[in-house]
Amino acid sequence: MAPRDSDTEERRGYRIRGSAFAAPHLEPGLYVVGTPIGNLGDVTLRALDTLAAADVLACEDTRVTRRLLDRYGIAAKVVAYHEHSGREAHTRLLDQLAEGKSVALVSDAGTPLLSDPGSALVADAIAAGHRVVPIPGPSSLATALSASGLPTDEVLFLGFLPSKATARRKYLEVAAPIMATLVIFESPNRIASLLADAAKILGGERYTSVCRELTKIHETFDRGTLTELAERYASHDVKGEIVLVVSPPGEAKPPAEADVDAALKTALKQLGVKEAADLVAASTGLSRRDLYQRALKLRAEA
């Protein structure tokens, strides 16, 4: 284990709303840390403990990560690690792990490795026998799904599709028949062309949610069929990062909440909570888990 400097130890901590907290000692290893996707208040206590205690903090853009660190008064040793860093930066982090140090890996936003660099570092750390510890946190994938109103039992995450139209269309053609909700990341300057291609290839009737600026001040959810959204965004200027959530093939527009409650109430007259949730899930395509929780609440209210 690498020796710890007592002066450095005293600085390992963070502040929340004026209160100071000491970070616990971290064992050697690579810590994959989820950070906020927009709202800095979404950081977890375990993430703060890890960021403050780590010997090294590897991040995509040091300026972006510094905003989070400054918000919580964390004085960490920050190094850049991204897709253009080169082999030298990669090797340096592995050497520090070999020296018995704790290395925290973060992306600019959300959970590392989801359309972010870092998979090679994690793979090589595992191959070298180093401990790899996930520190769960925010994810735009899960955030978008939770508010999309679309089925979450079967999900296909496509990440960022190719920027070239021909390659993008080939990806969509492969994904078109798959019976799952599709989740796609996209930049604002390409969302119009993506929606146009998706309407033609996936089917214009598929219900979709355009989730923009998640957890930020200007967070929006623009819902409709792919055809409706493609027409809307053809002349619609957009800013901010986007997550597109597309319903499975043949999936009709989700029923209204009042209709779902009515169906659950009717089922609960003759069935138990689980059976009622299963029945409504089969007829609507909605999440069994979500319907089960809703049925529990309705039974309690009754």
Per-residue pLDDT 10s for the chain (302 aa) are: 444 444 445 568 999 999 999 999 999 999 999 999 999 999 999 999 999 999 999 999 999 999 999 999 999 989 999 877 778 999 999 999 999 999 999 999 999 987 666 888 999 999 999 999 999 999 999 999 999 989 999 999 999 999 999 999 999 999 999 999 999 999 999 999 999 999 999 999 999 999 999 999 999 999 989 999 999 999 888 899 999 999 999 865 666 788 888 889 988 988 899 988 888 876 665 677 888 888 999 988 87
For residue 3, what pLDDT is reported? 45
Give the domain CATH number at 174: 3.30.950.10
Please name which of 142, 278, 301, 154 lies closest in space to residue 291, comparing C-alpha atoms.
278
For residue 279, what pLDDT is reported? 83
Helix ranges (H only) for 223-287 are: 226-233, 257-268, 273-284
- Of 138, 157, 175, at which residue does a domain stop? 138
Q: What is the dihedral of CA 141, 147, 149, 151, to 10 degrees?
A: 30
For residue 281, what pLDDT is reported? 77
The answer to the question of residue 252 being in a domain is: no
- Of 138, 164, 179, at which residue does a domain stop? 138
Give residue for tokens 């027409």. 231
Q: What is the pTM of this model?
A: 0.78
- Of 91, 113, 138, at which residue does a domain stop? 138
The answer to the question of residue 213 being in a domain is: yes
- How many domains, in total, are found in the chain? 3
- Pair (189, 264) in one structural domain: no
The answer to the question of residue 207 being in a domain is: yes
The answer to the question of residue 1 being in a domain is: no
- Pair (114, 14) in one structural domain: yes
- Pair (159, 266) in one structural domain: no
Element (H, E) at 208: strand 207-212
- Pair (26, 121) in one structural domain: yes
| The pairing of beta strand 13-16 with beta strand 56-59 | unpaired
Domain span holding position 41: 6-138
Amino acid at 105: L
Cα distance between residue 30 and residue 101, in whole Å: 9
The answer to the question of residue 251 being in a domain is: no
Tokens of 195: 């929606």
